[in-house]
Structure 1
Amino acid sequence: MIWNSDTWQVHKARKGDPRALEVLLARHRPRVEGMLRRLTGNATETEDLLQETVVIAYEKLDQWKGRGAFSTWLCGIAFRQYGTLRRQQKNLPTTLLEESFEPAAPLSDPFALLSQVEAQDALEAAIAQLPEYYRSVFVLIRVEGFRYKEVAELLEIPLGTVQSRLGTATRLLYAKLAPLITHETACEGGCPTTKGTPHAL
């Protein structure tokens, strides 16, 4: 076990210090909450899952061995709770994106697109519209930094399926964001804009 600030707080929490657990959860709440928000697209579900994650983390604190980041361990708990919720829901929302789109441009990284158009809201909206099985893989790997093997274990799917879903998710996001790049390029010479109004998707 590598000793750092998180490890020390976990050690104190295991010894019965309630303040230590509060510090840990406050420190890592933004990452866990952000992941759940992107996965669910629903504030109420996000908050409910966040509370469930806190309870389970408290109950299973002894299971964290310190071999990975504490925030990653928390995200794993949160994602499993999210998976349980989704299995209980019979009708998932349909996607607004076309899965058959193949980008012609050489740039296929949605985050690179984001840096060009500076449209965080556009990327968040596009992620929310991905089918759940693509969105989960994309959020876990590209946003939260999970390794492919970790995602395969979390989702209980082959490694090749993880890679395939990530590739499809990237293409779908490119399909949604590429028009913004086209608009920005066309307007480099100066296009009329309405201040405060985002580009239409």
Structure 2
Amino acid sequence: MQIPDLWLVQKAKNGDTAAFGALLTRHSRRVYNLLLRLTGSSALAEDLTQETFLTAYQRLSDWRGVGQLSTWLCGIAVKHHLAARRKARFTETLDAHEELAAGLSSDPLARYTQHEAKQALDMAISALPTHYREVFVLVRVQELRYREVAELLEIPLGTVQSRLAQASVLLQRALSHSIEELPQKGTKRHVL
């Protein structure tokens, strides 16, 4: 049985560094993945993840147990990302891809197709204009609610919806060419 976040936060507030370490272990991957998708840079995502957890440690008393701790942490991460972007401290390059899921098919063609599709999607997401990419990643990848995204990015709810729609259109266009080039299962191949 997993120890609840609220209990760990209470222990960490009282100086228990092991409890905060457990929170860090539990939530750092999600925060890092969010920041990696937002920045397109693994080095910057690592730096911002560290800043996020440093801020979270300093402001643990701000989280009152309402909502999920992971959402609160992602909010801090987005604010660090926005501050870094305003200061022009990050680049728009994508230099790392997440590892393929362990449960991939043993079929080499299926593995190749899945890998190529994932790379095409990652590249298409990283190529989106920043304001579309932020909304897309927060809503579709991190699965935050529109209202949460509006609050995090400090934009109107309607802007979240329109940016998400535009991001989807741009991704669909970018991926339509890539998907047509992928080998289809059941396609006959001639072997020499």
* TM-score, structure 1 normalization: 0.76
What's the CA shift for 1:156? 1.4
Decide whether aligned partners of structure 1 residues 186 and 25 sit closer, same or farther in structure 2, where only a CA change above 3 A counts.
closer
SS at match of 1:119: helix
Shift in Å at residue 119 of structure 1? Answer: 2.1
The amino acid of 1:122's aligned partner reads A
Measure, in 1, the Cα distance between the counterparts of 2:160 and 2:188. 42
Out of 157, 160, 163, the residue aligned to residue 162 of structure 1 is 160
Secondary structure of the structure 1 residue equivalent to 2:67: coil
Q: Secondary structure at the match of 2:122?
A: helix
The equivalent residue for 2:130 is: 132
The corresponding residue for 2:120 is: 122
Q: CA deviation at 1:90?
A: 8.6
What is the CA distance between 1:190 and its match in structure 2?
A: 2.3
Q: Which moved more, 1:41-50 or 1:128-137?
A: 41-50
Shift of 1:181: 2.9
The amino acid of 1:133's aligned partner reads H
Q: Does structure 1 conserve the Cα–Cα contact (< 8 Å) formed by 2:136 and 2:167?
A: yes
Instruction: Please tell me whether the aligned partners of residues 36 and 82 of structure 1 are also in contact (alpha carbons under 8 angstroms).
Output: yes
User: Given that residues 57 and 74 in structure 1 are in contact (C-alpha distance below 8 angstroms), is that contact kept between their aligned partners in structure 2?
Assistant: yes
Residues 42 and 93 (structure 1), Cα distance of their counterparts in 2 relative to 1, 3 Å cut: closer
Query: Is 1:81 aligned with 2:80?
Result: yes
Look up the match of 2:50. Answer: 51
C-alpha distance in 2 between matches for 1:187 and 1:15: 57
Equivalent runs, 1:13-162 vs 2, <5 Å: 13-89=12-88, 119-162=117-160
Change in CA separation of 1:59 and 1:184 when aligned onto 2, cut-off 3 Å: same
1:185 Cα deviation after fit: 7.1
CA-CA distance at 1:27 after TM superposition: 0.6
Contact 1:117/1:180 (<8 A) preserved? no
CA distance 1:121–1:38, change in 2 (3 Å): same
The alpha-carbon distance between structure 1 residues 27 and 6, as it changes in their structure 2 partners (threshold 3 A), is same
Letter in 2 for 1:131: P
Report the Cα offset of residue 118 of structure 1: 6.9
Q: Cα gap change, 1:192/1:43 in structure 2, threshold over 3 Å: closer, same or farther?
A: farther
Alpha-carbon displacement from aligned partner over 1:171-193 (angstroms, at most 9, x marks no partner)? 11111212233234767432469
Q: Residues 52 and 80 of structure 2 are in contact (CA less than 8 Å); yes or no, is this contact kept in structure 1?
A: yes
Unaligned segments of structure 1, at least 5 residues:
95-114, 194-201
User: Structure 2: which 5+ runs fail to align?
Assistant: 94-112
After TM superposition, give the deviation of residue 44 of structure 1 in Å. Answer: 1.8
CA distance in 2, matches of 1:91, 1:25: 24
Q: Percent identity?
A: 49
C-alpha distance 172-57 of structure 1, shift in aligned 2 (>3 A): same
